[in-house]
A and B are shown apart, each in its own frame.
Chain A
Amino acid sequence: MSTVGGIEQLIPDSVSTSFIETVNGSHQFTIQGYSLAKGMSPGKFIQSDIFSVGGYDWAIYFYPDGKNPEDQSSYISLFIALASDSNDIRALFELTLMDQSGKGKHKVHSHFDRALEGGPYTLKYKGSMWGYKRFFKRSALETSDYLKDDCLVINCTVGVVRARLEGPKQYGIVLPLSNMGQGLKDLLDSEVGCDIAFQVGDETYKAHKLILAARSPVFRAQFFGPIGNNNVDRIVIDDIEPSIFKAMLSFIYTDVLPNVHEITGSTSASSFTNMIQHLLAAADLYDLARLKILCEVLLCEKLDVDNVATTLALAEQHQFLQLKAFCLEFVASPANLGAVMKSEGFKHLKQSCPTLLSELLNTVAAADKSSTSGQSNKKRSASSVLGCDTTNVRQLRRRTRKEVRAVS
């Protein structure tokens, strides 16, 4: 699809249209013998036959003495009623008293061909009606062209509202995501065809040499390389924890990270980070490029002042350059630097990776240059940072001299 940007450039991947329309039908109701009908009393009606429109049944109700007693039979009433057992039917209506003289001056009340202020009318249940209590003044009716030979003719049109959905113009089949990893994972879990067992601490994990070799250059060399041992069926792993090795195996077979909390059995943030750090080291050992990147992403997400130093040390040791850059930026932030330097990890970092301190200084300096903070704040911040780092630089120099003497 196209890039999301201005709405004018947005071309949708698919379109659907909802057509809200009416299904129309009409019925003619003839009342022969009007003079005999009148005098029934208010509220009494003559009902038409039932007719069907839009899947529902309807009937016309004619009240010769009116529906409303308060009108004292001055008006005739005309209604259209829902005759089927349904709820909330929305419709448009038209009721027409026909001019029988041929002049075409019909008396029309209609929803059609005019603006719908509140939308169509809703008939809530069987027997609900739409129409007029005062459709026509009776005295005027009896001397009009609507009454001829004691006969009235009423036309009724009903338009039932419904929605029709036109689906996407593209006829496509939705492809599920690849299940290649699941098939391999089933083999791992069921141990079908396994030909290698790894002894990791107290745990034993069975696997397939071919699959390990396909996924890791280190395993490929170990099982199928010219100096590898093709016939080995058991390998002891002594530098990786069982849970880490299990997670790595799961990745090798599925290409996705397993749920880390399931494997560690812990939900604490620090154990999560610790686990990912170890998994990253294992990924490096077995040259699993994608697993390394996934771990780097997770460690970046979870950086905090307590764990950044150990993560930075790990990144330096294994040359994870992107992760290292993230960590340096994080530590160099003025708000983080003081807190990081108080952490246990940082003390260890100073001993194991002294060259990182000079890189950290460079990062702080670069951050200062790009800062837009006020002059006085900058001075104070720079002063405090320089104060700390000066001490460290002195220690660094002294240690270097000792090393030189020892070598000579």
Chain B
Amino acid sequence: MSESVIQGSNPDRVLSPTSSKSVTQTVNGSHQFVIQGYSLAKGMGIGKHIASDNFSVGGYQWGIFFYPDGKNPEDNSSYVSVFIALASEGTEVRALFELALVDQSGKGKHKVHSHFERSLDGGPYTLKYRGSMWGYKRFFRRSILETSDYLKDDCLIINCTVGVVVSEILCPQLHSVHVPDSELGSHFGVLLDSMEGSDITFNIAGEKFLAHKLVLAARSPFFKSKFFSEFEANNTEVTINDLEPKVFKALLQFMYKDSLPEDVEPATAHTFERLKLSEIYETLIVKVLAAADKYDLIRLRLLCESHICKGVSVKSVAKILALADRYNAKELKGVCLKFTAENLAAVLETDAYQQMKDECVTLQSELLKAVAGHEEGSNSTGGAKSQSVWAQLSDGGGDTTSRHVRQRTT
């Protein structure tokens, strides 16, 4: 996601003397929701919806809701409704939205409803809590939709863009003030590079690292108790024997700069496919993951998990699953289980899986649960499991007055 400045009004238009331009800085993200099987979806009832998977924009989760028979009983199923809902916890989230029904004929005559590229008379829309929605009860007249280029091979495509407001400036003329990104990381990075005022020395396998107790205490509960408990407050040197210098250096970089070091290996599918599991355990990123777990650096662990996640493929997923299990990488483990469940036959054929299955019996039972959850939606014969799918399909949830939106694990 990148930040962009979007002007709220046409710059060529002459303003009245008392008006001002609205310049909104937003973090934008987009999602495409494909509905295959429209003819089976219609007739499900007014207020019943089909939900997209959740997607992430500006630190919040969002979902698209399509009502084939409309949301409003008064419209008597004459229109289809489309809404965007806030799917994660949040109050007073301000955002801009765009909903587009894609013309599938290739003529490019999409049906677009958008906050972007037009004056925001009332400012961005505010979503008050989880489950709040923006959209249209009368997005399209159904009888026209069913004979239009928007419906092709019983398929509809909806593009959605969300722009979460991060700051808003009302100012005369075209001036705008750019608010720079947070400087905490760079300021403490300067401190790390210069080590002015350092008050602690770490001895890591014979290599010395200078640091500041305060910074480490602010960033890690482990170090906070070590340096500021009543028994060890006066230490000036600490020896750690179970870390390599390059791993500790990565920890320091994270604690001071809030980022991974540059010399971490790039995570590609090929990297994890090529290396043996024992070799993967020796990579810097995996060692940093292990250290993050030990020193209770939650965000560093997530940074490592997110990095390793890029390497997931059919051939590599079994190895990554094993390492996620070993180092308590919960998010990474969830991604691997989901990926495997959706590509089960191919994954089971891989050498990596054959090697893993004997070592990690518990992982296989977790894999079975993930598969059961996945296949529930495709060809289930169990009544209880089907019921939850039906609940998803027919649930009237997501109404403006409702605070609950079903949330999927990513």
Contact = CB atoms under 8 A, between A and B. Distances in A.
Interface of A: 1, 3-4, 7-8, 10-23, 52, 54-56, 84, 86, 88-90, 92, 115-116, 118-120, 122, 161-168, 171-181, 183-184, 186-187, 192-193, 208-211, 213-215, 224, 254-256, 289-290, 293-294, 296-297, 300-301, 322, 325-326, 329-330, 333-336, 372
A335 B18 CA distance: 6
Nearest to A323: B177
Given A15-B32, A173-B410, A208-B214, A180 B219 contact: yes
Interface string B166-177: 011111110101
B312 to A, nearest CB: 6
Given A55-B386, A122-B43, A296 B59 contact: no
Contact of B36 (A19, A293, A300): A19
A4 B332 contact: no
B36 A326 contact: no
Interface in B328-384: 331-332, 335, 338-339, 342, 377-383
B197 A173 contact: no
B257 to A, nearest CB: 9
A122 B44 CA distance: 8
Contacts of A296: 177
Contacts of B120: none
Nearest to B339: A171
B280 interface: no
Given A4-B98, A7-B159, A192 B182 contact: no
B56 interface: yes
A214 B190 contact: yes
Contact of A7 (B66, B110, B179): B110
Contacts of A10: 30, 100, 159, 161
Those 5 A-B pairs whose CB atoms lie nearest each other, nearest first: A119-B43, A20-B37, A55-B386, A16-B53, A329-B172
Interface in B142-190: 159-161, 163, 167-173, 175, 177-180, 182-185, 187-188, 190
Nearest to A372: B14
B284 interface: no
B172 A301 contact: no
Interface in B193-243: 196-197, 212-215, 217-219, 224, 227-228
A1 B28 contact: yes
A20 B36 contact: yes
A13 B32 CA distance: 8
A177 to B, nearest CB: 5
B175 A325 contact: yes
A359 B342 CA distance: 68
B18 A163 contact: no
Interface residues on B, range: 35 or more
Interface stretch (B126-134, B287-295, B390-398): B390-398
Interface string B95-121: 000101010000010101000110000
B183 A301 contact: no
B2 A15 contact: no
Tell me if A's interface is mostly helix, strand, loop or mixed.
mixed
Given A167-B53, A322-B175, A175 B43 contact: no
B400 interface: no
A209 B338 CA distance: 48
Contacts of A116: 39-40, 42-43
B125 interface: no
B17 A334 contact: yes
Given A163-B392, A165-B377, A326-B172, A186 B218 contact: yes
B183 A193 contact: no
B187 A214 contact: yes
A327 to B, nearest CB: 9
Contacts of B28: 1, 4
Given A55-B386, A330-B172, 17 more contacts: A4-B163, A13-B31, A13-B55, A14-B32, A55-B381, A116-B43, A118-B42, A122-B45, A164-B377, A165-B51, A173-B309, A176-B302, A180-B218, A224-B196, A255-B182, A289-B183, A334-B17
Interface of B: 1-2, 4, 6, 14, 17-18, 28-45, 50-53, 55-56, 59, 61, 66, 68, 98, 100, 102, 108, 110, 112, 116-117, 159-161, 163, 167-173, 175, 177-180, 182-185, 187-188, 190-191, 196-197, 212-215, 217-219, 224, 227-228, 258, 299, 302-303, 305-306, 309, 312, 331-332, 335, 338-339, 342, 377-383, 385-387, 389-390, 392-394, 408, 410
A118 B55 contact: no
B187 to A, nearest CB: 5
Contacts of B377: 162-165
A12 B162 CA distance: 11
A11 B100 CA distance: 12
Contact of A173 (B335, B382, B390): B335
Given A193-B213, A322-B175, A163 B42 contact: no
A120 to B, nearest CB: 6
B362 to A, nearest CB: 22
Given A18-B34, A119-B44, A175-B303, A13 B385 contact: no
Contacts of A329: 172-173, 175
Given A19-B36, A211-B214, A325-B175, A163 B389 contact: yes
A161 B40 contact: yes
27 contacts: A1-B2, A4-B98, A7-B100, A14-B30, A14-B53, A15-B33, A18-B35, A18-B51, A54-B386, A56-B383, A88-B390, A88-B394, A92-B40, A120-B40, A165-B53, A165-B377, A167-B53, A172-B306, A173-B410, A180-B184, A183-B219, A184-B184, A210-B214, A215-B183, A297-B177, A329-B172, A329-B173
Contacts of A177: 59
Contacts of A214: 187-188, 190-191
Contacts of B338: 167, 171
A224 to B, nearest CB: 6
Given A20-B50, A118-B42, A187 B381 contact: no
Taking each of B108, B183, B214, which has the highest tally of chain A beta carbons within 10 Å of its own beta carbon? B214
A13 B30 contact: yes
A210 B18 CA distance: 48
A12 B31 contact: yes
Contact of B335 (A119, A171, A325): A171
A17 B381 contact: no
A16 B305 CA distance: 23
B18 A333 contact: yes
Nearest to A326: B171
B302 to A, nearest CB: 6
A115 B39 contact: yes
A23 B14 contact: no
B224 A192 contact: yes
Contacts of A322: 175, 177
Contact of B52 (A16, A115, A333): A16
